[in-house]
Chains A and B, each alone.
Chain A
């Protein structure tokens, strides 16, 4: 198993930390992982993205130009990364702020309205965990107990009291994700 993922959105949405939690959970499950962020001026321009690879085998290139899964959290990222999903792959997006919805006919498309759900949960900070939950529902690559351990490892101890809230958000994401398009 090798899953090649791009997570892309605005800086501040928790794109990089979502990738980190996914990777740490992978480490806890005994997988090989890599986390390759965009850095520097790109980030200061307001967009952030990270390439995450989770695999049973030694990972070759940590830098990719096509992906099994694209998790897209703003319009700029939709414009940039919709075309990079491998045929037969999948795209997950949050509809909030999206003016041009995905149009590909050779990939499966899911929508997870995490921004809306985070507002309902009265915590903007769990936005990225709702998205992560949606992803893990469609691709159950990792056991929830390892996601829990991944959260423990990723978050500084002073935030450990928030782990249960994060897990609640992951569960909400699993419930609200919807299939939008499935190729024939």
Chain B
């Protein structure tokens, strides 16, 4: 068993980055995720593993430092919260276009604009549909506990390098700020391997490596896009992750991720104490979305309620997955308010069972 600690979600991300053998972290402070960099600065991993931790002058600088580090084949990451992630979108699109691995962490707060510093899930579209320009996808992992904040740092890096694609941990202010028990994984040393595609200086035995997202030849640019799309189909085929809770005998279904899924677990207990057979389907990867697995549930359940801390974003993907076979509705709160289990059960009764 790994070392047990009581940690904030943000601290778990930072500790996991050191343990995963990250080469660099570049960031700019913003509530509610500032503890990521604070923890790294206090730990001074450079003295132990050589990991660079740098506070950039802005989010734009941070994401472009990530771009540069990733181009050298290094294990690099950044973290921010909603408005900061918006500032990074140009760089994220370039990184995806240059097929580079990196880890991005968004500890989401309410928007739009500067919004609020309280938790929200209103950056779902931005993460899974592409907040930057062009036909690209981010592998998007949604942790529902401090444990998963730690575990998904390792998983995110693994997937990013496996597919040479940026991976995003889409968390929120509640999971970032709360403390839970975490079993930390054992540290791995930083990799010394020189990746064949990385721009590490040309040696006589190979051609130049070029990292770019620019190609002005339409044919080559289309071929490149087709190659990207092929990679995305492969990820959709192989990397879907989800959890089903009390779904075996369920007549109705909640779909929720992250903090909402925690509230909904309590709602499931509450509803079942009133004789309503309801389960929870928790997507862990938001892209690739578990569409097939949700469609399969339509054989069993009569209706689905998507519970989100947004105006209803994931519900669109659930509707696409269900193809009109059963009723799908949404309930959520915004502006930093977290729905209560009572509210959620009431809305299931009103919108799905009674509706």
Contacts and interface: CB of A to CB of B under 8 A. Distances in A.
A65 interface: yes
Contacts of A37: 177-178
Contacts of B338: 63
A60 B178 contact: no
A66 to B, nearest CB: 9
Interface stretch (A26-34, A107-115, A176-184): A26-34
Nearest to A65: B340
A36 B178 CA distance: 5
Given A32-B181, A65-B342, A40 B31 contact: yes
Interface of A, secondary structure class, is: mixed
A60 B181 contact: no
A63 B174 contact: yes
A171 interface: no
A40 B110 CA distance: 13
Interface size class of A (residues with CB under 8 A): 20 to 34
A99 interface: no
Contacts of B265: 60-61
Contacts of B342: 65
A24 B178 CA distance: 13
Interface residues of B, number: 24
A59 B263 CA distance: 10
B32 interface: yes
Contact of A62 (B117, B262, B269): B262
B4 A27 contact: yes
A20 interface: yes
- Which of B180, B259, B341 neighbours the largest number of chain A CB atoms within 10 Å of its CB? B180
A32 B147 CA distance: 12
B118 A20 contact: no
A153 B178 contact: no
B32 A40 contact: yes
Contact of B180 (A35, A41, A61, A153): A35
28 contacts: A20-B179, A23-B179, A24-B6, A27-B4, A27-B6, A33-B6, A33-B179, A33-B180, A34-B178, A34-B179, A35-B178, A35-B180, A37-B177, A37-B178, A39-B117, A39-B177, A40-B117, A41-B117, A59-B262, A60-B262, A60-B269, A61-B266, A61-B341, A62-B262, A63-B174, A63-B340, A153-B6, A154-B6
